[in-house]
Amino acid sequence: MQVAPGLVNQVGYLCDTGERLTVSYFSHRGAAALIRGETAYELQQVPAASGVSYVGRGVILHGKGVELLVDTNGSEQLACRASDSSFPRTP
């Protein structure tokens, strides 16, 4: 899939467990892609009281500023922080 420059923000995150994640935000589609290890998750944006939220395949992302919470199937929750200073902050 080709996407025009500026329509995708790719952000690297470092989690409190030491794990690294990558999230690509497709704001023009209201979607995101989470890369965790060898697994990719396609997520759709959902309304959030503040910040942004995405859901899909048992994964929930909630981000605000440089912080990201990742909930996987309700069994694991990761607290992560953007590790890339060029990351455009979410509302």
Q: What is the pLDDT of residues 46-90, one digit of tens each?
A: 999 999 999 999 999 999 999 999 999 888 999 999 986 544 554
Amino acid at 17: T
pLDDT tens sequence across 6-51: 578 899 999 999 999 999 999 889 999 999 999 999 999 999 999 9
pLDDT (0 to 100) of residue 46:
97
- pTM here is 0.82
Does pLDDT of 2 surpass 50?
no
32 close to 46: Cβ distance less than 8 angstroms: no
- DSSP letters along 31-83, please? EEEEEETTEEEEEEEE--SSSEEEEETTEEEEEEBTEEEEEETTTEEEEEEE-
Opening angle at CA 6, ends 83 and 81, nearest 5: 15
54 close to 47: Cβ distance less than 8 angstroms: no
